[in-house]
Amino acid sequence: MAKVEKRGSLGKEELRDFFREMLLIRRFEEKVEERFRAGELPGFLHVGIGQEAAAVGVCRALEDGDVIASTHRAHGHTLAKGTPPNELMAELYGKLEGCSHGYGGSMHLYDVERGNMGANAVVGGGLPAITGAALAFKLRAEPRVAVAFFGDGATNIGTFHEALNLAQLWCVPALFVCENNHWAESTPSSQHMPIDDVSKRALAFGMKAVKVDGQDVSAVYSATRRALEHARSGKGPVFLDVETYRLVGHYIGDPQVYRPKDELKDLRERQDPIERLRAELELSDEEFEELDTEVQEIVEAAVEFAKAGTDPRPEDALENVYA
């Protein structure tokens, strides 16, 4: 069995800052859902409501120079890695001011300057490149770590196994973060995995594996800090099994016919990472309202920024085509 990490200690101010970030992601994604349903946003959108602690806990533990690869459920990782909400929202509106300049969209969010090497719409598609990025860091003796986000569903695909095998074989500074939300789109883990404990898959490669309560942001943060230290010190990659809950459907508009309604209701009551941290911080209603108002204003401003953004010309589609 993988080792279960205990909560580390974080200062109250830092935790409060994490709370604000998680709340910003939540309000951002609620707004995305609202604007999508209003017909303003094109494309195929996946929100990670319920998984904010994983995004913030991991990304806040990273150092400058560390890089991430994200998934189709990428808004939280992107914001937590430092992309301004304006640039992210502009991307979702398909504007040139967007973080991928309108070429990527929700499932292909990039911010290379801030270490976001791209969200991937192919499940597991980004994992081998994280092994490769970590190899580059190792070859150049740079103290950097490459981090892949993916879900439990991705642990069934070949790239997962090949990328982890190679990473461990070559002892590269990589961190494989499994956002284990127990669902692969509409398929529960009981139907997609013949084992209960996903970290056994990493242990099979001889990789250090750590389990952590993904709804507890400080636990995620501390586990990530320790994993990064392990990877950065040349001891090899780490697999983080971040147990989390997707409190919404697979995509915006998913009727979730596959999921018992009482299960979702129960999870929302018990496993909302924002409610948990709010209680832990003992925020008064006034304090909460103040933070909430602040982040909602940021989100509203992002929508205004995005709507006022520049539409690409149709023929801009040919930019960056070299062959």
Partner 1 sequence: MPELSYREAVRDALSQAMRRDDDVFLMGEDIAEMGGSMGVTQGMLDEFGPERVRNTPISEMALVGAAIGAAMQGMRPVAEVMYQDFLTLATEQIVNQAAKHRYMSGGQVSVPVTFRTQGGAGWSPGAQHAQQLEAWFVHIPGLKVVFPSTPADVRGLLYSSIYDENPVVFFEHRTLYGLKEEASEEIEPIPLGKARIHREGEDVTVIATGRLVHEALAAATDAEEEGLSVEVVDPRTLQPLDEDALVASVKKTNRCVVAHEAVTRMGFGAEVAAVIQYQAFDWLDAPIERVGARFTPLPFAPVMEEWCVPHAKDVLEAIHRTVGRSNGD
The residues pairing with 184 across neighbouring beta strands, listed in sequence order, are: 187
With beta carbons less than 8 A apart as the criterion, state whether 251 and 107 touch.
no
Which parts of 58-77 interact with partner 1 (CB under 8 A)?
Answer: 67
Nearer to partner 1 by Cβ, of 98 and 236: the residue is 98
DSSP output for 255-305:
--TTS-HHHHHHHHHH--HHHHHHHHHT--HHHHHHHHHHHHHHHHHHHHH
Which residues, 6+ apart, have CB-to-CB distance to 171 below 8 Å?
138, 234, 235, 236, 237
Contacting partner 1 within 110-129 (CB under 8 A)? 110-113, 117-118, 120, 122, 125-129
Are 160 and 127 spatial neighbours (Cβ–Cβ below 8 Å)?
yes
Nearer to partner 1 (CB atom), residue 14 or residue 319: 319
Q: Is 220 in the site for partner 1 (CB under 8 A)?
A: no
d(CA 315, CA 259) in angstroms, rounded, equals 44
Q: Is 301 in the site for partner 1 (CB under 8 A)?
A: no
Tell me which stretch binds partner 1 (CB under 8 A): 158-166, 183-191, 262-270, 286-294. Answer: 158-166
Rounded to a whole number, what is the distance in angstroms from the first to the last CA of the chain? Answer: 49
166 binds partner 1 (CB under 8 A): yes
Number of residues binding to partner 1, judged by CB under 8 A: 44
CB of residue 107 vs partner 1: minimum separation in angstroms?
9
Using the contact rule CB under 8 A, the part of the chain among 53-61, 97-105, 212-220, 298-306 near partner 1 is 97-105
Nearer to partner 1, 41 or 135 (CB): 135
CB of 171 to partner 1, least distance (A): 12
Task: For the CB of residue 135, give the shortest distance to partner 1 in the complex, in Å.
Answer: 5
User: Which lies closer to partner 1 via its Cβ, residue 4 or residue 139?
Assistant: 139
Residue 69, token pair as written in the block: 């690869």
User: Residue 133, interface with partner 1 (CB under 8 A)?
Assistant: yes
**Which of 89, 146, 177, 306 touches partner 1 (CB under 8 A)?**
146
Beta strand 146-151 pairing with 116-119? unpaired
Pick between residue 163 and residue 198 the one whose CB is nearest to partner 1. Answer: 163
For the chain, counts of helices (H) and of strands (E):
12, 9
C-alpha–C-alpha distance, residues 132 and 136, integer Å: 6
Q: Which residues, including other chains, have CB under 8 Å from residue 240's CB and lie 6 or more apart? A: 58, 175, 176, 177, 178, 209, 210, 212, 223, 224, 227
169 is a contact residue toward partner 1 (CB under 8 A):
yes
Closer of 57 and 126 to partner 1 (Cβ): 126
Using CB under 8 A as the criterion, which residues of the chain lie in contact with partner 1 when the complex forms? 67, 98, 100-104, 108, 110-113, 117-118, 120, 122, 125-137, 139, 146, 158-159, 162-163, 165-166, 169-170, 319-323
